[in-house]
Amino acid sequence: MTRPRPFRLLEQLHASRTAVLSYAAIALVVAQFEAVALILVVPTAQAVSAGSTVIEAAVGPFDLSLDVTRAMWLSFGCLVLAFVGNLFGSALRARYVASWERHLRDDLLAEFLAADWEVQRASRTGRLHTLSMQTTRASQALSASIVALRSMGSIAVFLAAALVVDWRAALGIAVVGAGLFALLRPANRRIKGLAKKTSITTIAYGEDLNEFAGQAREVRIFQAWPAIEGRLGVLSAEAESYKRRAGFLMQALQPAYQYVGLALVMGMLALAAQADGLDLTALGVTAVLLIRSLNYGQQLQLAVQQISDATPFVEQIQVERDRWAAATAAAGTTDIDAVDEIAFRRVGFAYDDDGTPALSEVDLTLRHGRVYGIVGPSGSGKSTLVSLLLRLRAPSLGRIEVNGVPAEDVSLVSWYRHVTFVPQEPSLFHGTVADNIAYLDPAVDRAAVERAAAAAGIDDVIRALPQGYDTPVGRASRDLSGGQVQRIGIARALARGAQVLVLDEPTSALDVHAEAVIAETLGALSGSVLVVVVAHRLSTLGICDELVVLEDGRVTAHGTPAEVLAANDFFRRAMELGSLDITR
């Protein structure tokens, strides 16, 4: 079992070390300008209060002799340079973090799409969407880590300045700051624990909300909304409780450094009042540097809290990324120009190692230009056969070949250029009718869309819509019936010009007239493409050149409809009863 790697901020920072080091360098320069400005403030104030126009003071080992006006302009200039440098650094950080978040979101989507179909199918509805929304938390954690680096660098600059002025005061600042940080560690751990609970609850809420939103019809019919409101209400209340407690701790801890700094300044003033011979200039400079240092300490503490708050959300993303990456779908490198035949060579498939095989020793060759009907009782393996043909799953035993080449050696891009699918209930996304037929494929132009719609018997219906092919539709479109949506699904398959069409009962939602149109369309394809139809209605079989009967996961008959009728008991009974929906 692959162990998920945790989210490591240092790894992310190292990966973009050029941008981070540039930001850190700017932050250090800004801190030095600030330090110079602060060091000049106290002796300038002393000179002004004494009515002097010249600063004559000793600051640590340095003797200052400077015109007051020049000192003010120098201090002001340093502050302006610090402000400009801070703006530039903030712009650099914002650009880097926003770019990183975008790439994380793109990678999350790419890894999900590249994962094996089984893993995608097993993911809860809305999981990808919920995690994608959490990338903002990831960028907040990264941004906070950069701020933490800046704060530590600035504190180091101010401590160095204080060390030059008075090493004893600098040592006191360092000891107090480190001690305060250590004292706050238990609270930080508590914040991190609450943040983890918040992340788990928030993601669960999002997944439940997405699932039930997609089942609006069932929710209404089964009168389930009170229970759903209650279930989501419990999760919402839990998330609120965790977030409230974490927020209280964060807000309570933020001013700690400021209060401690003020207390230290008062202590220094008390010491100055009791002692003789203290250098008040050095004392004042040290106090100013102390306050500014502790301000950066407060920023550091806040950054640490933000990292603790965001990290559990990011770790959830990382766990899923690892799972998806470990299940990347096998994709060959061979391209094919045409599909002459697809052969199942003693293919077997089981959904789990200990389960009964869904398919066993299937030997079957499907040839170009023929229309095949797949029939059999419920649970006979029809859907499994289709999923293997579409390469949504891989055989547990045996192999599938296309033109004599193992299917797993063929690239998925090439495979799906030639093999397409019409589900029993096609889905529409929010876009125009033309967009839905082309299905975001830029190679399918408007002419191909209209030809496919005409072939599927839906062209007249589309042209009668308010905006024709440019009419907006979606999953819950009120402009189209179920049968019309199904014909759009068939047009979608035909528009790509694929050589293999796999259809799961394409006429199940159609009336007699529409069914005749589709049957005529599919019949016209005979001789030009390979068509595989999973049939649930006897009327569908009229277009089939050959039938394949599956029973208990095995092919029990294969041949023309007349040959299968003569050889297979299941199909003979189905014909007698007038329905394929029978048990053995």
Alpha helices in 115-224 (DSSP H): 117-122, 127-133, 135-165, 167-183, 185-213, 216-221
Phi, psi values for residue 364, rounded to 5°: -155, 135
Closest CA to 344 of 314, 386, 305: 386
Backbone angles phi, psi at 58, to 5 degrees: -105, 125
Q: What is the DSSP letter of 224?
A: -
Residue 441 neighbours by CB under 8 Å, 6+ apart: 495, 496
Q: What is the CA radius of gyration of the chain?
A: 36
- pLDDT for 558: 94
As given in the structure block, the two tokens for residue 262 are 């003020």
How far is the C-alpha of 388 from the C-alpha of 399, rounded, in Å? 10
Which pLDDT score is estimated for 6? 40
Would you state the pLDDT for residue 46?
75
Residue 437: its pLDDT value, please? 92
Q: What is the pLDDT of residue 507?
A: 66
Map tokens 């819509």 to a residue: 465
Specify the residue for token string 């009419």: 471
Instruction: Give the per-residue pLDDT at 14.
Output: 59
**φ, ψ for residue 472 (rounded to 5)?**
-70, 135
The type of residue at 427 is S
Res 554: pLDDT: 93
Q: Are 144 and 306 in contact (CB under 8 A)?
A: yes
| Structure tokens given for 201 | 């609850």
Tokens of residue 542, six digits:
């009229």
Provide the residue ranges of all domains of the chain, joining segments of one domain with +: 100-326, 341-577
**Packing angle, helices 167-183 and 256-274, rounded to 10:** 150
Alpha carbon distance 219, 213 (integer Å): 9
Residues 6+ apart with CB under 8 A from 25: none
Measured between alpha carbons, how far is 310 from 494 in angstroms, rounded to an integer? 47
DSSP state, 567? H
Record the tokens describing residue 216, joined without a space: 């609006």
Architecture per CATH, domain 341-577, reads as 3-Layer(aba) Sandwich (3.40)
The pLDDT tens digits along the chain (584 residues) read 333 344 455 566 656 677 778 888 888 899 888 888 888 877 777 777 777 877 766 666 666 677 888 888 888 898 899 899 989 988 888 888 888 888 888 888 888 888 888 788 777 767 787 788 778 878 888 888 888 888 888 888 887 877 777 766 667 666 766 776 677 778 777 877 887 788 788 878 877 777 777 666 556 655 677 787 888 888 889 888 888 888 787 777 766 666 666 666 666 656 655 555 556 666 677 777 777 777 787 788 778 777 877 777 777 788 888 888 887 766 678 888 889 999 999 999 998 755 678 899 999 999 999 999 999 888 889 989 999 999 988 898 999 999 999 998 998 888 888 998 888 888 888 889 999 999 888 889 999 999 999 888 889 999 999 999 999 988 767 778 877 888 888 888 888 888 899 988 776 666 677 677 777 777 777 778 899 998 877 877 888 899 999 999 999 999 999 999 999 998 888 888 877 766 65
- What is the pLDDT, as a whole number, of residue 384? 92
Contact between 152 and 110 under an 8 Å Cβ cutoff? The reply is: no
- Options 2.40.50.500, 3.40.50.2300, 1.10.260.40, 1.20.1560.10; CATH for 100-326 is 1.20.1560.10
